[in-house]
Structure formats: C-alpha cells, structure tokens
Structure 1
C-alpha cells in the first residue's frame, strides 16, 4: 500500500534554481531553503507522471462519496430492518471512511512524494486505509455466512438483526487489533535523490524498522489473513451455487406422469347417511366414477399457490348429487376435512422459503464480494513482484510508472462501485435512488 517513488533525473537545473545554486547544492554547504527548493522541484517533476493516477483516484473519490451516501440514505429510510440492511450499511460506512480520508490522503502523498514530512498524518492515513479494508473483508465473510444459511440451510435458525450486529462488531474489533500495528510500522521514510547531500521524505515504512523483520512479518500476516478469508468466501459461495443449481434443476425437471401432477383436486367423501360429497376445482366437471368410495386426489400446485379452495371460496365448487340441501352433520364433516387439509398444507411449508428475492439478494452480495477480491488482485501481484524483484520500481520509466501507480491502488475501486452494483442488482434501490436524486435536483 505504499506509494511508488520513480527515479527522477536532475541533469538540468531545477525550475527557479540558477546555475550557481545548482553548484552549491553539490557541495557540503547546503541551506535549508535550497534543500526545500530542490525537493519541491523533484515533487513537480514526479507529479507530472502521477497525474493519471490522481485523476483516477479523484473520480473514485467523487463517485464513492455520493454513491455511498445514497446507499446509506436509501437503505436506512426506505428498507425495513434486516440482517442484509445491517451488512450493507456497514459496508457503506467503511467505504465512506476510505473515500473521505484515505483517497485524499493518497492524492496528498503523490503530490508531495519527496516532501511528505508529516509522520502523524501518515500513520493516520495508513491506519484508516488498512482498517476500512480489513473490516470490509470480514463483513463480507459475515455476509457469506448469512447467505449460506438462507440458501443451504433454510429450515435452520437464521441470523437475526441482533446477531448480524454482533457479527459486525466482532469484525470491527478483530480488524482494529490487526491494524493497530500500522501506527507503529508506518511513518517517515528517508528517500535518496540524485544529489547525495539532499534526502527527501515519503509516507512509508518508518526508518527505524527498515533493518528489522517486523514490517515483513506484519505484511506477511495480512497476506495470510487475506488468502484465508478468500478461501472461506470461495468455500461458502461454491456450496451456495451448488444448492441453487440443484434447486433450479429439480424445479424445471419435467414430470413423468402428468396424471399425478394435475392442477385440480377432487375429494369424494362417503358420509354416514349415504350422501356423497364431491369437490372439484376450476372448470372440472364432477365424475361419477368411484361413487360410494372414500378417496382423495389433491394437486400440490393448487395447495401451495392458493388456500382459497380450502375456505369454501369461489375457486372450489362442491356438488351434492343426492340432495341439494346438505345435512348439518355432512357440512360439519366437510368443514373438519377442510381444516385438516389446510393445517397439513401449512405445516408442510418451510418457514424460510428460498424465493426469487433471496436469490437476487444473494447474487447482489456475491457480486460485491467478487468485486472486492478482483480489485485486490493487481495490487497483490505488484506487491509480490516488488518483494521478489527488489529493483522493480527503479526499472520503470515513463508509461510504466503511470500504469504501475494506477494498478498499485486498484483496491480503491471496491469503495466506489458498490452503489453501481446495488443499482444493477436491486430494482427497488434503483428506483428509490432515482427518486431521491430527482427530488434533490428539484
């Protein structure tokens, strides 16, 4: 997460520095003002190569601030309390911390890459950056656990709002413990220039830790936590995807015998006084077959989709062929049968049904997780490359420096695009957000 320091050639005299001053800077007697002017010149030259990365971060900052504020307003005012709302709101808060603090600090660091002599500010920026990222990662693990229980274990006890808040609290506490060492590790790092007598300062690993193993061990622990978290997320969503696939395959499997899957149901009850009662649904006509026998044929589609037939409503017609007036005893027997069938139907339904809404929410949160992981891959690859090849940064020139500084900060994408994912995957959020934006402009 540290910034790159490109090699700047100083063959020409700095802007605002005459030849006499340039000669003085090469001697041992260099004043503080001359050092400042020289380092400011290096900042200006380096910043020209940083402009594309600054524009990239500025766009993410604007999009992230407005987008995450919109997410907070819509979810807090328009959505009912739920575990999903708890997770989404917390993710938006962490992203806002990044957009309000980390991104401006990163731009400031790139602007003063040779003159960032603010150790306290550096420690605050690195801590906030690490804390918000690690907290978001642990919150996404809590989201995956919630989705796993809803899709793969729908009949078990589900995560409540209180449990969701506790899970987020644990995620924040663990993240706080893991990121406190950034306050110790990061600070003011001395940067060498072409002039051996003048050194600059950047926000990176503090000078007192450069010759120790502590920074390397700490970064290694963060890498290990990231890959372990990635493994948990992959494990959870593989099970979720398999369950959804099996559910859809079973749902759309054609029935072998359509006779046993009719959308109508018929009940024939032989009463004690010899009067037969026939009940049929829809436009189906009563049949005289099997008269006098006690039998029932019930279509499960009608049972699951509507209960009106069991309440004596218009969907179910009952005929009494022997007599137009049914005895009270027969009516009582028919009501008891209807109540028993309705009770059995309600008991057979699962308490937590995996419906289209749950699947859409799961897909939306899965996309959020995928964006989080993918946005980190370029940064991790560059960090590993720097570790393996120590002179990697020094070998970069021109366009390579520009591309390097953009991809080194790729993980900031995650803090800005979540609102876009919500807009594409959640129609209600899209409509509510549109109405809110229109009302603000009005």
Structure 2
C-alpha cells in the first residue's frame, strides 16, 4: 500500500477529495441551477432566433450582426456553460491543465467577441442613421470586415488568459491534502502579469462603453430632431401643405417638381430607399405619383435621382440644409411610396447593449476588487461569489428574450416555427 509524504494512501486521498467534491457541489446547487437554466433557455432561444433571422429575414446589416451575436451565444451555451458545471462538480480533482486553459480562454474569447460586435453595431448604426447625407452607405463587405476584425481583436486579448489559467493547487484546511482546481495558475495568481491583463480588460470595457454611449446618444439626438421636424410639416396631395403648431417648417417646398403636387426638399441616398434606415425614419406617409400619367403638360421627371442629390431644384443655405437633412428624407424617385413603419430595430440594439454592459459589470467589479485587495471577498456567500463571477453569462439567455420583446416580427416568426415543429412531431407520432 503506497503512502504519500503525509502518511495517506492514494485511495484515502481520492476518497477524501471525492467527498469534498460532493460537498462543494451540494453547497453550490443554486449556482448549478443558475447555469442549467441559462444553458436551456439560451440553447433553445438562440437556436430559434438564429433559424428565424436566417430563414425569414432578408439580408441586411442588422441581420448579419444579430446572426453573429446568436452564434456567440450558442457557443456559450454549448461549450462554456457545461464546462462551468463540470468545473464545479470536480472542483478539487480537475487534473487536466490543457482543458482548463482551453475552456477558460474560450469563455473570455466569446465574451469579448460579443462585446466587440455590439461596439461595431453601435458605430455602424450611428453612421447609418446620422449620416444620411453621405452618398456611400454601409456595404456588406465592410460588415464582414468588421466581424473579422472583432474576431481578431478578441483573439489577441484572450491569448494572455491561456497563459494565466491552468491547474491550481488548493490546500485543504485541517489536512495536509492538496486538491487541484481550475483557475488562475499558482505562479500567476496576483502577479504583475495578472494585474496588467485585468487592467487591459477594464480599459477595453470602459472604451467600449464610451463608444456605444456616444453612438446611441447621437442616434437619440438625431431621431429627436427628426421627430420635431416631422411634427412640423405634413405633405399632402393636390398642391397643399398643412402646418401644425401654427409655424412654418424649416424646409421649403418647390412646386416646380410637378404641377398640382408639392415635394419636400430633403435628401436621401438612393441606396437607402430599401434599407432599414427608411423603416427607422418613416414616421409619416408620402404619396408621390408620376405626373406624366395624369398631366401630360407637366415636365418630365427622371425615374430616379442620383445618390445624395436633392429631390427638387430649390437650393438652401448650408446652415438650413443641415437641418432639413434630419427631417422627412423619404423619397428619391417619382412614383415611390413609403408606408409608415414603427422604429424598433435601434431600440432593440440599444437594449442589447445595456444588457451586456450591466451583466458584465458585476464580474468586472468583483475580479478587480479581489485583485486589488486579496482575501476581502472570502467572507461572501459561495453562491453569491459563483453567480457574480458568472454574471456575464446572462447575456446568452437574455438576448433571445430581448429580440422577441422588441420585435413583433421575431415573435410571430418564432411562434410559427414552434407550431410547425409541433405539427411535425405530431405527424411523426401518427
């Protein structure tokens, strides 16, 4: 019978560590329930959302980013959450150093990638909505390039975590037995390397929050200005313009564009007429008909205008043009009709950003405090610690709920998909 240096046999050590694993697992049952709920809700929700956006939505910039976020959340549900549950179950006998490094690095990589994608979404959304006067809209190749850049930056930032983590030796109180856990390696725990890496993560988080905050603040200001202008003037047919609040709108109307009709002198690039920008900003209805069909004496109107040009021949000073570009820029071709559509996409993306920021904050605060003042968190409840250090995982389960809450079309398509799956299951049984 082999004895170690402390006089214990190998079987006694293994039995004792198994007992400690079981006790630790029972102590963290609330944390395990939390992980399982996130895993089930996130796996089902993100799968449905991915199928709905991939099958039912037309290609667009927002669709591409949402699909990317859904993939990150699905990978979190499939890889990260089960690995966390396994780590809790074998807390004192986690002997695979490489598996520990890989699971911890993948977790950090997916979280960083989700955050960087949200930063890219905020920047692109702000550029799309607030800079309609530019003649070159966002192209799909730029969207794919931004996703590749996000993947690369997340990879670079997560590589140091592969070096930091590994098998960590844990001395058990009251005995001379040492367990092996997965975490920050003993040689790097509270080291300068560890502190620098955490400082970099904190800096990236702060910069990302500032970029997203500034972007959505600019979007909110632009939409507020647009609604204020949209409430000022209502374009109607039969050469008549009605004013609200008793004041004349800042935009001028040129009747030379067609006899018997008025056309608002605002600008919109032609490429935006079928994009989500129109659905975001179309708060009024504009009906323009081709005058050549009803009045042959009317001047011939071109079927489409060049991108970035005015819809009429009237000219405005630069100071006035800046304001008119923020109002009802809804038509660039004669005979084009735009229906009223509620603005929801930007609100949904904003809520996703807020959810990610709030969920990542407890983990960041907890880890930073523990790094600055080691041991101060040892008195906290073990489940509170377990949930705080996994707070960012909430995003993988909450994001599908946000999609359904903010988009009636997503809700409808999800219900249709579930009903079709249910009918298929019943037909197979029969």
TM-score when normalising by structure 2: 0.77
Preserved contact between residue 150 and residue 354 of structure 1 (Cα < 8 Å): no
Decide which of 110, 118, 132 is 1:154's aligned counterpart.
Answer: 132
Residue in structure 1 matched with residue 311 of structure 2 by the alignment: 347
CA distance in 2, matches of 1:337, 1:343: 17
Preserved contact between residue 151 and residue 354 of structure 1 (Cα < 8 Å): no
Decide which of 407, 411, 415 is 2:392's aligned counterpart.
Answer: 411
Q: How does 1:255-294 map to 2 (within 5 A)?
A: 263-265=237-239
Decide which of 382, 402, 409 is 1:428's aligned counterpart.
Answer: 409
Q: The residue matched to 2:183 in structure 1 has which SS? A: strand
User: Larger relative contact order (C-alpha < 8 A, sep ≥ 6)?
Assistant: 1
Preserved contact between residue 82 and residue 160 of structure 1 (Cα < 8 Å): no
Preserved contact between residue 193 and residue 199 of structure 1 (Cα < 8 Å): yes
Decide which of 146, 152, 156 is 1:173's aligned counterpart.
Answer: 152
Preserved contact between residue 116 and residue 203 of structure 1 (Cα < 8 Å): yes
Cα 1:247–1:176 shift into 2, 3 Å: same
Decide which of 41, 48, 57 is 1:79's aligned counterpart.
Answer: 57
Decide which of 379, 384, 394 is 1:395's aligned counterpart.
Answer: 379
Per the TM alignment, residue 247 of structure 1 is displaced from its structure 2 partner at its CA by 1.2
Residue in structure 1 matched with residue 278 of structure 2 by the alignment: none
Preserved contact between residue 287 and residue 338 of structure 2 (Cα < 8 Å): no
- How many residues in Structure 1 have an aligned counterpart in Structure 2? 362
Q: Does 1:217 align with 2:217?
A: no
Deviations 1:318-342 (A, max 9, x none): xxxxxxxxxxxxxxxx635242598
Q: How does 1:316-335 map to 2 (within 5 A)?
A: 335=296
Residue in structure 1 matched with residue 114 of structure 2 by the alignment: 136
Preserved contact between residue 423 and residue 429 of structure 1 (Cα < 8 Å): yes
Per the TM alignment, residue 46 of structure 1 is displaced from its structure 2 partner at its CA by 1.8
What is the CA RMSD across the aligned residues, in angstroms? 3.1
Cα 1:337–1:217 shift into 2, 3 Å: same
Deviations 1:226-261 (A, max 9, x none): 1111111111111111111111122224x6xx9xx7
Per the TM alignment, residue 88 of structure 1 is displaced from its structure 2 partner at its CA by 0.7
CA distance in 1, matches of 2:190, 2:293: 84
Q: The residue matched to 1:113 in structure 2 has which SS? A: coil
Residue in structure 2 matched with residue 337 of structure 1 by the alignment: 298
Cα 1:423–1:163 shift into 2, 3 Å: same
Residue in structure 1 matched with residue 86 of structure 2 by the alignment: 108
Give unmatched runs, 5+ long, in structure 2: 241-257, 267-284, 313-328, 424-430
Decide which of 194, 208, 219 is 1:240's aligned counterpart.
Answer: 219
